[in-house]
Structure 1
Amino acid sequence: MNGKKNKKKTNRLIMRSVILLLLIAAIGYTIYNSATADDVSLLEVGDDAPNFSLTDLDGNQHKLSDYRGQGVFLNFWGTWCEPCKEEMPAMDSQYGEYKDQGVQVLAVNIAQSDFEVQSFSDQFKLSFPIVIDKTKDVMTAYNIRPLPTTVLVNPEGKIERVVTGEMTEQDIKGYMEEIKPE
């Protein structure tokens, strides 16, 4: 009888120790993550927009530096994001108006599958290039937190404005005017 009791106590002690170690590891990870999050420098208006190269749904490469001389409406989004769904048709409409005036839209999806993104694009009949940041490297470089976030890049490759949250079609039109080449 004592052998069973001791075995139960030992098992309980081992289980409690494992749980305690997991809690300590989780707390340590959280502290480390919070401390290193500040290592990413915040981008400000006037900074050079970090260059990147991502692939669109058709397999074409898009490098930000290839758009030098044009305004770039860089929109970070996800298919699950309700405000993103609301603003996408307006972005597409304004893209139709401004693409021939030197303003490009690049929609950067954050690490979702090609299937999810393609389905979303088909549902809204989007015509602008959609690229997927599978590794979240671009999201990190731009220090993107809430979605949607739009970074307006002027023709010189500098950040003109950072917009967080949902935009109306009127907002989008105004922002495209801001980054339209002279």
Structure 2
Amino acid sequence: MKNKKNRLIMRAVVLAVLAAAIVFTIYTSWAKEKYEVLQVGDIAPDFALIDLDGESHQLSKYKGQGVFLNFWGTWCAPCKKEMPAMGLQYQVYKDQGVQILAVNIAESDLKVRAFAEQYGMVFPTLIDTSKSVMQTYNVKPLPTTLLINPDGKIVKIITGEMSENDIKGYMEQIKP
């Protein structure tokens, strides 16, 4: 009797896991179709987000400048490694018409502020609280960086960690 009960419970658990997997698969395929995948050559979709100082940053206001659009998280090890290098290159390129917009994915203001101070983030640090910009840009792994030229076109999409030399080269590519 006990054996039958155990088998019944086991079958119910397996069935529940399978049902959850099916529901998850259906949902993710539906969600993927909801957002068009951006590609090199596309115009970067406009957005507006607030930085840690309460200032609004709208992508379209940067037309005429190169934009290094970086999506990151405080828990992301590669993000921690590349932030200081991004800061150094920002100091070199900001007066040459290249901006960095660092978009954090829905973390608390307190966490993002502490991270920004720890890693010396001197460029605009924005928080995508609703993940709407992340979804619009189809950002999957963090970090993801999009290089946007002065005309507002995406010229490169980089996923994963970048070295300081990589960052310097990318900033050269989008310099007006």
Match of 1:106 in 2: 101
Partner of 2:154: 159
Return the letter of the residue paired with 1:174: G
Structure 1 unaligned residues grouped into runs of 5+: 1-8
Establish whether residue 78 from structure 1 lines up as the match of residue 73 from structure 2. Answer: yes
How many residue pairs align between the two structures?
170
Map Cα deviations across residues 59-94 of structure 1 (whole Å, 9 max, x no partner): 110110010110000000000000000000000000
Say whether residues 1:33 and 2:27 are aligned partners: yes
- The CA RMSD measured in Å over matched residues stands at 1.9
Q: Which runs of 4+ in 1 moved over 3 A?
A: 15-25
Question: TM-score normalized by structure 1?
Answer: 0.86
Letter in 2 for 1:50: P
Q: Does 1:126 align with 2:121?
A: yes
* Rg larger in structure: 1
Whole-Å separation in 2 of the counterparts to 1:124 and 1:110: 17
SS at match of 1:97: helix
Q: CA deviation at 1:36?
A: 1.5
1:88 aligns with 2:53: no
**In 2: Cα distance, 1:20 partner to 1:167 partner:** 42
User: For 1:24 and 1:162, how far apart are their aligned partners in 2?
Assistant: 35
* Distance across 2 between alignment mates of 1:51 and 1:82: 28
Shift of 1:26: 1.9
2:56 to 61, 65, 80: 61
Report the residue type matching 1:83 in the other structure.
P
C-alpha offsets along residues 15-56 of structure 1, whole Å, 9 cap, x if unaligned? Answer: 899868854652343122232143122211110101111110
What SS is found at the alignment partner of 1:57? coil
1:148 aligned residue (133, 139, 143): 143
- Counterpart Cα distance in 2 of 1:89 and 1:171: 13
